[in-house]
Amino acid sequence: MTSEVVENEFEFYSKAEKYWKDVPATVDGMLGGYGHISSIDINSSKKFLQRFLRDGPNRTGTTRALDCGAGIGRITKRLLLPLFKTVDMVDVTEDFLTKARSYLGEEGRRVRNYFCCGLQDFSPEPNSYDVIWIQWVIGHLTDNHLSDFLKRCRAGLRPNGIVVIKDNMAQEGVIMDDVDSSVCRDLDVVRKIIRRAGLHLLAEERQENFPDEIYHVYTFAMR
């Protein structure tokens, strides 16, 4: 649990904000020097997401998506804008959202809102999103804040909407990273937080073809 590794909550958040302020507003910066894995990541995410967007009575809509921890808009540009009519972005670092406006190009006109806010303080507009995509950012929230944020995400979904988390998973327990002030949880801890938020897991998948030296990455879909 994060309560065992996060000694000072205020410091945990402010140190992370400071860390990201010094990160270059590039794809390589967003991916911690692993910019070369971006296409592998996006292609896998697209396959994962499209199974929910196919025809059927419980099909997830394609009207509006929310990109959480959006950075400069890598996922918005290559995954969400090609599939959804409009996208909203939320990130704690203002410089990244400023950069997104040029990085997204013409298609960026379909980004309705750029929210500059930490997810611990952010509330998605109720009943508004078909997909809420949360990637490589849950480590910056304490367990309680993550659970509360997921509850707010649940309220933000339209009928048949889904919340997706894609993130690093530890082998066991919760590991603190003092460099960027984040935690990495194991699968059981993440599943427990998802259940605590009142969400039901629909699918879970391990990312393939990532470098051996990085954490295992898993994608979860829930509603």
Q: In sequence order, what E strands does the chain have?
A: 64-68, 86-91, 111-116, 129-135, 157-169, 174-177, 182-185, 201-206, 216-222
Q: Is 120 annotated as a binding residue?
A: yes
Q: Is 212 annotated as a binding residue?
A: no
Q: Is 185 annotated as a binding residue?
A: no
Q: Is 171 annotated as a binding residue?
A: no
Q: Is 93 annotated as a binding residue?
A: yes
d(CA 187, CA 125): 28
Angle, helices 187-196 vs 143-156, to 10°: value is: 50
* Nearest CA-CA partner of 174 in 148, 120, 138, 205: 138
* Integer angstrom CA distances of residue 66 from 79, 114, 161: 11, 10, 11
SS3 176: strand
Q: Is 26 annotated as a binding residue?
A: no
Binding-site residues for S-adenosyl-L-methionine, in ranges, read: 69, 74, 91-93, 119-120, 135
Binding-site residues, in ranges, read: 69, 74, 91-93, 119-120, 135
